[in-house]
Structure formats: C-alpha cells, structure tokens
Amino acid sequence: MYPIFGRCDDYAAQVSESGALRLGQWTMLLLAFLGFAAFYFSGAAALSVDSAYSLINFASAIVARKVMIASRSKPDATHPYGKGALENTYVLIRSSIIVGVIGLAFVGAVVSLIDYFVYGDTTEIHLGIAGGYGVIAAVILLLLSLNYARTERIAPSGVLTAERKATHLDAIMSAATGITFIVIAFIPNGTVITSESFDIREIADSILVIVLVLLLISEPWRTIKAEFGRITGERQDRAIEARIRDLLSDQVESVTDIYAVNRGSLIEIDLRLSYSGAKSVSELDAIRMSIVTLLAQELGKIRVHVVFTNREISNMN
C-alpha cells in the first residue's frame, strides 16, 4: 500500500465537498419544479428539457456524494492503490449523461422545426414567463457554480469539477434561453420575422436549443475522451508529467520514466528513477521520501509509487 501525501485535510475536505454537493442537490430539485411549472404555463419546449436536466443533476449530486466518500477511502489489501479511479469513472458517466441530454434536446428541436415548416404545427409560447424563468434560473445556477468553484479551492476534486462544469453549462443555457425569450417578446407583430406566414416567436426556443448544443457540446465531449483515456491507462496528463520532470531535474541523477494520472482529488504518480553505483535500501528510502515530500509541496495531494530501474514503464514486463 502506498500512503497519500499532501496539504489537504481529508476530514475538512469531505465536509466542504459534501456541503457543496448537498446544496447543489436541493437547488437542482427546486429548479426542476420551477422549470416544469414554467413549462406548463409558458408552453416553451426548451424549459421541459431544462427541467429534466435539473432532475438529472439532482440525482447526480446524490451519487456524487457517495462517490466522494468511496474515492477518498484509504488504500487496503483489496485496493492497494485506493479507489481514486472512481472519480474518473463518475466524471466520464456524468459527461456522457450531459451529452445524452443535450443530444435529445437537439433532436427534439429539429423535430419541432420540421413540424413547423413541413406540417405547420405550432405551439403558442408565453414569452414573458419563459424568459423570466430562464433569467432567474441562470442567476441561481451561476451562484451555485461559484460555490462549487470556491469549494474546489478548499478541496480539489474531480467530482466537484464535474458538477461545476455541468452547473455552468446549465447556467449558460438558461441565461441564453431567458434573454432570447425576453428580447423576442418585444418584437412587434407584422414584421418580416413576425408575419402570418412566418413567426420566429413560435420556433425561437427550438432554434436556440440547436445553436446552444452546437456551441457547447465540445466541452463535455472532450471530458469524456480525457476521462476514458485515464481509466484505460492512456497518457492524458502530460503537462503534470513535464512539471514533475522539471521539479526533479536537480534532485535525481536520471528520471527513466513518469506516468501521472489526475484523479481529481489527488494525483497518482508512477516514477521510475535510475542511479549509477550501488545504494543501500535505507539510502533509496531516503531518496524516495525527499522526492515525495518535494512533489507533495508543489502538487498537493499525491500518491507516489517509486521504482529504481533503467527500464521504462512500458518495457517492465
């Protein structure tokens, strides 16, 4: 088993993280109810998607707290490297859900446009109600995102990062929806875009959903690729590896290889070092502890596995 080194107090981190997730959990449930009410009274399809997304965020916050506790548990005989990979798995699943939800929203918006232009089906939207909800929801979500960011500074965590990004994405979509509805509400009848043959107010939410999905889907998609790479052993944190190499440039004779994985709440490091001449076990242990202490001071919470060898990690077997 390899102990964890770093500056973060586990108990304080768990309390801060759990508090932020609990606040997010109930905030999302509140927004879900408000969203469904706004959808019922306004008829704006975009709000039904937003409400469903809030419900998913509510459920995700519950799961996130369980993942947080499990991922921070100490290594044992069954899990000698701990359960840090749970954070990467959670972020991967969380991002996949986001892509799925906004993908369904995109399909629904396209179907609505087809119904309007091909079949002439329309749904009257009460723009004031829809716009008001969008702005209020955006403000609440922005404050929640800032709270996640504040907690991240106290307790760095992949779980918190995933929730912050999801909340920030939701805030952007809600703000864009609300502002668009409010602006459109002031367009008078009889203009080029509000005539009897074509009224943009009847399809504004569908157009907005399509534009937002195209603009925002790249971020969760990149996260999916990165976390899948970390879980499957692909090098995804080369910047961390380069920094470690720089930090050790004056500390060791030769760095054979470095493999670092960002688990969110900690960084796992597999370090291969080589030395000329013979050294005793106690000397090697002293070298290891000096390296671990230096990396913990510079990188924060880490778990380090040091092997003294001339062979790279990929050539050990």
88 and 198 together in one domain: yes
Q: What is the mean pLDDT of residues 214-233?
A: 91
pLDDT of residue 317: 58
* Residue 198 sits in the same domain as residue 269: no
Residue-level pLDDT at 1: 44
Number of domains in the chain: 2
pLDDT grade, residue 56 (50/70/90)? confident
Same domain, 242 and 217: no
Q: Are residues 256 and 184 in the same domain?
A: no
Q: What is the pLDDT of residue 6?
A: 53
Domain limit, last residue, from 206, 231, 256: 231
Under 8 Å between Cβ of 27 and 137: no
Q: Which of 205, 231, 257 is the last residue of a domain?
A: 231
Q: Residue with structure tokens 């001449």?
A: 277
Residues 195 and 253 in one domain: no
Q: What is d(CA 67, CA 65) in angstroms, rounded to the nearest whole number?
A: 5
Tens-digit pLDDT profile for residues 142-201? 999 999 999 988 888 888 888 898 898 888 888 888 888 888 888 888 888 888 778 887
Are 206 and 247 found together in one domain? no
190 and 269 both lie in a single domain: no
Q: What is the CATH number of the domain that holds 178?
A: 1.20.1510.10
Strands (E), the chain: 4-5, 254-262, 267-274, 302-308
* pLDDT score recorded for residue 271: 93
Sheet holding 302-308, edge to edge: 4-5, 302-308, 267-274, 254-262
Q: What is the pTM (predicted TM-score) of this model? A: 0.79
> Which CATH number is 304's domain given?
3.30.70.1350
pLDDT score of 229: 94
85 token code pair: 């990979």
| Structural domain for 42, as ranges | 4-231
Decide: residue 201, CB within 10 A, 0-12 exposed, 13-18 middle, 19+ buried: middle
Same domain for 48 and 161, yes or no, is: yes
pLDDT of the residue at 276: 78
Q: Is 267 helix (H, G, I), strand (E, B) or coil?
A: strand
Considering the domain architecture, whether residues 44 and 165 belong to the same structural domain is answered as: yes
